[in-house]
Amino acid sequence: MPIVDEPVHPAWLPPGAWRPITGRRVRVTGEGLLVRTVLAELRAAGATLVETDGDVEFGLGGDPALDGEGFEIVRRDGRTLIRAAAPHGLLHSLFHLLREAPAGRYRPAVDRRMVDHWDNVDVHPVMGQVERGYAGGSLFWRAGEPRRDLPRVAAYARLLAACGVNAVALNNVNVHATETRLLTDRLAEVAELAAEFRRYGIRVHLSVSFAAPVHHGLPGADPLDDRVVAWWAEATRAVYEMIPDFGGYLVKADSEGQPGPFTYGRSHADGANLLAGALAPHGGVVHWRAFVYNHRQDWRDRSVDRARAAYDHFTPLDGAFRDNVVVQVKHGPMDFQAREPVAPLIAAMPATRLAVEVQATQEYTGQQRHLCYLAPMWSSLLRGTDGPAIAGVAAEMVAVANTGDDPFWTGHPLAQANLYAFGRLAWDHTLDPVTILDEWTGLTFPGASPALRATLHAVMDGSWQTYERYTAPLGVGFMVRPGHHYGPDVDGYEYTPWGTYHHADRDGVGVDRTVATGTGFTGQYPQPWASIYESAADCPDELALFFHHLPYGHVLRDGRTVIQHIYDTHFAGAAETAEMRRRWQTISDEVPTELFRRVAGLLNEQVRSAEEWRDQINAYFLRKSGVPDEHGRPIY
Active site residue 145: no
State whether residue 221 is helix, strand or coil: coil
H or E element at residue 119: strand 119-124
Identify the residue among 91, 163, 168, 173 touching ligand BDP (CB under 6 A): 173
Active site residue 196: no
Residues numbered 354-383 forming contacts with ligand BDP, rule: CB under 6 A: 363
The interaxial angle of helices 433-444 and 416-427, nearest 10 deg, is 120
Distance CA 61, CA 624 (A): 69
Question: Are the CB atoms for 131 and 120 separated by under 8 Å?
Answer: yes
Active site residue 256: yes
Binding mask 130-169 for ligand BDP (x = CB under 6 A): -xx-------------------------------------
**Catalytic residue chosen out of the listed positions 57, 131, 196, 335:** 335
CA-to-CA separations, 388 to 110, 228, 358, 564, in angstroms, rounded: 18, 39, 16, 29
Distance CA 432, CA 101 (A): 15
Kindly state whether residue 174 participates in binding ligand BDP, applying the rule CB under 6 A: yes
Kindly state whether residue 24 participates in binding ligand BDP, applying the rule CB under 6 A: no
145 - beta bridge partners?
A: 142
Bridge-based pairing state of the strands 119-124 and 128-130: antiparallel
For ligand BDP, which is the closer residue by CB, 497 or 526? 497
Kindly state whether residue 336 participates in binding ligand BDP, applying the rule CB under 6 A: yes
Nearest to 16 by CA among 26, 35, 3: 3
Kindly state whether residue 179 participates in binding ligand BDP, applying the rule CB under 6 A: no
For residue 283, the minimal CB distance to ligand BDP (Å) is 27
The interaxial angle of helices 375-383 and 416-427, nearest 10 deg, is 20
Kindly state whether residue 252 participates in binding ligand BDP, applying the rule CB under 6 A: yes
Distance CA 17, CA 100 (A): 11
Question: Are the CB atoms for 512 and 545 separated by under 8 Å?
Answer: no
For ligand BDP, which is the closer residue by CB, 190 or 251? 251
Binding mask 117-136 for ligand BDP (x = CB under 6 A): --------------xx----
For ligand BDP, which is the closer residue by CB, 175 or 607? 175
State whether residue 608 is helix, strand or coil: helix
Q: Number of H helices and number of E strands within the chain?
A: 18, 20
Kindly state whether residue 309 participates in binding ligand BDP, applying the rule CB under 6 A: no
For residue 629, the minimal CB distance to ligand BDP (Å) is 33
Distance CA 110, CA 126 (A): 36
Distance CA 535, CA 1 (A): 60
Beta strands in 254-359 (DSSP E): 285-289, 325-330, 353-359
Identify the residue among 291, 378, 445, 464 touching ligand BDP (CB under 6 A): 291
**Catalytic residue chosen out of the listed positions 256, 432, 507, 605:** 256
For ligand BDP, which is the closer residue by CB, 210 or 336? 336
432: left (phi over 0), alpha (psi -120 to 50) or beta: beta
Kindly state whether residue 254 participates in binding ligand BDP, applying the rule CB under 6 A: no
Identify the residue among 119, 254, 335, 534 touching ligand BDP (CB under 6 A): 335
For residue 341, the minimal CB distance to ligand BDP (Å) is 17
For ligand BDP, which is the closer residue by CB, 88 or 132? 132
How many residues in the shown chain lie near ligand BDP by CB under 6 A? 10
For ligand BDP, which is the closer residue by CB, 291 or 464? 291
By CB under 6 A, name the binding residues for ligand BDP.
131-132, 173-174, 252, 256, 291, 335-336, 363
Q: Which positions are catalytic?
A: 256, 335, 363
